[in-house]
Amino acid sequence: MNALKAVIRRELQEHKWGFVYLPWIVGAFMSLVVVMVYIGLTEVNTENFKFSTEVFSDSETVQGMNEATFEQRKAAIRAGLLVLGSPLVIALGFAILAYSLSTFFDERKDKSIVFWRSLPVSDSFTVLSKLSVALFVAPLLVIPALLFLHLVSVTAGSIYFAVSDIVPFTWAWQAYPWLDWIRVIFSLWMQALWSLPVIAWIMLTGAYSRKPVVAAILPPVVIVLVEGVSLSSSVFYDSLIDRLLPWSRSSSFPKEYENLQVAEISDVPLLLGMNEFWIGIGLGAIFVFLTIYFRSKSDYASVE
Amino acid sequence: MMEANSVITARNISKAYGDSSALSGFNLDVHSGQILGLIGPNGAGKSTFLQAVLGLVDTSGELEVLGLSPNKDRHELLNRVCSITDVAVMPRWMKVGQILDYVEGVHPRFDISKAKKILSNTNIKKSSRVRTLSRGMVVQLHLSIVMAIDAELLVLDEPTLGLDLSYRKEFYSQLIEDYFDGNKTIIISTHQVEEIEGVLSDVVFMDQGKEVMSGSIDELNQKFLELRPKAENLEKAKALNPIYIRTELGRPVYLYENVEAEKLRDFGEVHPPAIADLFLAVMKKNKEGEAK
């Protein structure tokens, strides 16, 4: 247990920008945007999402808000917070990919692998600990920044509603889905497991290649091209993209759940019932096994 | 079967990298309490052997370290063996205090307060990052960590390579005075023999992946003697077949193998050879033997 704690602490010390600071930077930026929108300094206007105080000048909207049931309020708040939080989740995705690429490459590059391997920590323990950092610890670290963003958003909204005499201050708070914290954590963990083959593949390239970026990208590109030219299909490409998108949106996910946004814990069995999920876990396990193998074969020769 | 106090038993160890062989049929016995110097020119196979001891390379032959197989039982072995190698391997991004905390977390035999105490006698601060330390300080840091680990075997592979003379002297004096206690075993490889002269209890001379000669310092001091013959005795001294002749300050110095000191004393000043000179003599003799 001490060893696991020590390894995870070391990983977070080394990758504190990606895993500790980045969520807060993005979270603070989004919080600032939210506050500025309510003050009336800016607005967010994308194809799918409009966030502006203008909507509240429409009397129908205000009436709708006043008449909304508890469940409707909850759904609206949840949807809004999901969109506001998505930059954090996307940043987390990039941080995990960057970590996976560098974690086994950097220790070879700076030769510290010789020091790490001179201590009584086995290669399988190291690889599995690092994997658990990418899959489970990193998502957990996003939660405080996400919580902060939610609290700022709901507080700013409530103050605006109360001051502008739209709805009472408590309107949003009563319906704020506190239990979403657990939901978000589980969703992110399941998402990480869904993306395991990609994460483990990238880790593997860092463990053996001198040019991990090329080694990570080239083989998939070649497979996509060969499949496209010889079979005129894009099965590999589609499934690859699937792995990088939210698992509830994956094309292999049952269609009736297409609108599912953040998965409930009760949706987890759905994911566990998908063959694609287990194919991904199996493929990921092979890559992890190879990563352990290559790390155990690292001697001075491979770092020179 | 290993003997009770045997630390390393190596039989017929071979290792080739492509066409070139790094070790060819190397044998070695190291016992508890020895400070053994593995001495040889660059490319003699010293590093390869020490890597094999640490389970970092696969070799053919039989190798047992503390009764364990370095490859199969590597993890257990690393609880009991420490090493410092010739490359700077300390993680450059880390702070000294972070490294100490990490080693404390993963090494059951590491005593962090001891490491802190050793470091308090140096210029290395806990808050310093490794990348800001000089090469000598990084080695000093590594030694401080290793000295705070209660290991049975310490493997030092050219540990002072590239260091200033003052650091090199400091390194070995610290090692002997503060670390070595007679129950530990140390194996040191180097090609700079002078600096470990007074440190070793045993030596093994290596060349081209093989042992050329081995023995305890006491044995060697009895077997080999150096003579500075007086000018009038040069011919008589030569007649006793010195195995090696060198010049010091313009005067010849003869090295003898298995010649009684009493005989030599008649011709001049007699004393045991420095390991460095013995090494050169043995290597030369070995080369001549091969030529024949």
In this prediction the ipTM stands at 0.89
**Residue predicted with more confidence, B72 or A282:** A282
- Closest-CA residue of B relative to A108 is B89
Q: Residue B1 falls within a domain, yes or no?
A: no
CB B116 within 8 A of CB B152: no
Indicate the pLDDT class of residue A303, thresholds 50, 70 and 90: very low
What is the per-residue pLDDT for A304?
46
User: A6 and B105 in contact by Cβ < 8 A?
Assistant: yes
pLDDT digits (tens, 9 = 90+) for A174-230: 888 887 778 888 888 989 999 999 999 999 999 999 999 999 999 999 999 999 999
User: A115 and B89 in contact by Cβ < 8 A?
Assistant: yes
Query: To the nearest whole number, what is the mean pLDDT of chain A?
Result: 88
- Closest-CA residue of B relative to A125 is B75
pLDDT at residue A248 tops 50: yes
- Closest-CA residue of B relative to A2 is B105
- Answer yes or no: do B195 and B284 share one domain: no
- Backbone φ and ψ of B149, nearest 5°: -105, 130
What is the H or E stretch that residue B277 is in? Answer: helix B275-291
pLDDT at residue A257 tops 80: no
Indicate the pLDDT class of residue B265, thresholds 50, 70 and 90: confident
User: B89 and A111 in contact by Cβ < 8 A?
Assistant: yes
User: A118 and B88 in contact by Cβ < 8 A?
Assistant: no
Q: SS3 of B225, please?
A: strand
Indicate the pLDDT class of residue B163, thresholds 50, 70 and 90: confident
Q: Does A251 touch chain B (CB under 8 A)?
A: no
| Percent of chain B clearing pLDDT 90 (strictly above) | 49
Tokens standing for residue A79: 């949807």
Q: Which residues contact A80 (CB under 8 A, 6 or more apart)?
A: A51, A153
**SS3 labels along B61-95:** EEEEECCECCCCCHHHHHHHEEEECCCCCCCCCCE
**Nearest CA to CA, how far is A112 from chain B (Å)?**
4
Q: Does A50 touch chain B (CB under 8 A)?
A: no
Torsion of CA B200, B206, B211, B216, to 10 degrees: -10
- B contacts of A17 (beta carbons < 8 Å): none
| Percent of chain B clearing pLDDT 70 (strictly above) | 98
Q: Residue B155 falls within a domain, yes or no?
A: yes
pLDDT at residue A64 tops 90: no
Look up residue B272 and give its DSSP letter: P
Identify from A113, A114, A295 which residue to disrupt to test chain B contact, counting B C-beta atoms within 10 A and taking the largest count.
A114
Across chain B, the runs of DSSP E, i.e. the strands, are: 6-17, 20-31, 35-39, 60-65, 81-84, 153-157, 185-190, 202-207, 210-216, 224-229, 244-248, 251-257, 268-271
CB A192 within 8 A of CB A135: yes
pLDDT at residue A275 tops 70: yes
pLDDT at residue B14 tops 50: yes
**Nearest CA to CA, how far is A133 from chain B (Å)?**
16
| Percent of chain A clearing pLDDT 70 (strictly above) | 91
pLDDT at residue A27 tops 80: yes
| Structural domains of chain B, count | 2
pLDDT digits (tens, 9 = 90+) for A138-175: 999 999 999 999 999 999 999 999 988 888 898 889 88
What is the per-residue pLDDT for B292?
63
Domain encompassing residue B20: 6-208
User: B91 and A7 in contact by Cβ < 8 A?
Assistant: no
Tokens standing for residue A29: 């930026």
Q: What average pLDDT does range A10-23 have in this prediction? A: 96
User: B78 and A111 in contact by Cβ < 8 A?
Assistant: no
Most confidently modeled range among A98-107, A236-245, B278-287: A98-107
CA-nearest of A136, A265, A273, A236 to A193 is A136
Tokens standing for residue A179: 């239990």
- B contacts of A119 (beta carbons < 8 Å): 78, 103, 106-107
Question: How far is it, in rounded angstroms, from Cα B106 to Cα B98?
Answer: 13
CB A76 within 8 A of CB A180: no
Domain endpoint, select from B180, B208, B236: B208
pLDDT digits (tens, 9 = 90+) for A284-293: 999 999 999 9
**Residue predicted with more confidence, B169 or B91:** B91
Domain endpoint, select from B144, B174, B208: B208
Question: How far is it, in rounded angstroms, from Cα B246 to Cα B253?
Answer: 5
- Closest-CA residue of B relative to A113 is B89
Q: What average pLDDT does range A265-283 have in this prediction? A: 85
Indicate the pLDDT class of residue A264, thresholds 50, 70 and 90: low
pLDDT digits (tens, 9 = 90+) for B46-88: 989 999 999 888 899 999 999 999 988 988 999 999 998 877 7
pLDDT at residue A294 tops 90: yes
pLDDT at residue B193 tops 60: yes
- Answer yes or no: do B137 and B181 share one domain: yes
Domain endpoint, select from B208, B242, B258: B208
pLDDT at residue B191 tops 50: yes
- Answer yes or no: do B80 and B52 share one domain: yes
pLDDT at residue B247 tops 70: yes
For the ranges A179-188, A265-274, B273-282, which has the lowest average pLDDT?
Answer: A265-274
Query: To the nearest whole number, what is the mean pLDDT of chain B?
Result: 89
Q: Residue B49 falls within a domain, yes or no?
A: yes
What is the per-residue pLDDT for A201?
97
Question: How far is it, in rounded angstroms, from Cα B239 to Cα B266?
Answer: 13
User: B90 and A6 in contact by Cβ < 8 A?
Assistant: no
- Closest-CA residue of A relative to B57 is A299
- Answer yes or no: do B110 and B197 share one domain: yes
The minimal CB distance from B56 to the residues A5, A115, A299 is found for A299
- Answer yes or no: do B158 and B227 share one domain: no
- Answer yes or no: do B114 and B164 share one domain: yes
Q: SS3 of A1, please?
A: coil
User: A6 and B88 in contact by Cβ < 8 A?
Assistant: no
Parse chain A into domains and list their residue ranges.
Answer: 2-303
CATH of the domain at B105: 3.40.50.300
Tokens standing for residue A27: 């979270």
- Answer yes or no: do B149 and B269 share one domain: no
**CA dist list (Å): B180 to B51, B54, B151:** 22, 20, 11
- Answer yes or no: do B238 and B197 share one domain: no
pLDDT at residue B229 tops 50: yes
- Answer yes or no: do B136 and B229 share one domain: no
The minimal CB distance from A13 to the residues B56, B85, B98 is found for B98
User: A300 and B85 in contact by Cβ < 8 A?
Assistant: yes
What is the per-residue pLDDT for A176?
87
- Answer yes or no: do B250 and B155 share one domain: no
Residue B202: beta bridge partners?
B36, B216
Question: How far is it, in rounded angstroms, from Cα A222 to Cα A205?
Answer: 16
For the ranges A71-80, A97-106, A128-137, B122-131, which has the lowest average pLDDT?
Answer: A71-80
**Residue predicted with more confidence, A66 or A4:** A4
Residue A44: beta bridge partners?
A51
pLDDT at residue A133 tops 70: yes
Q: Residue B213 falls within a domain, yes or no?
A: no
Number of helical H runs and strand E runs in chain B: 10, 13
Q: What pTM did the predictor assign? A: 0.89
Longest C-alpha distance within chain A, in Å?
73
Tokens standing for residue B53: 């001891």
- Answer yes or no: do B139 and B185 share one domain: yes
Q: Residue B214 falls within a domain, yes or no?
A: no
Residues of A (61-90) whose Cβ lies below 8 Å from B: none
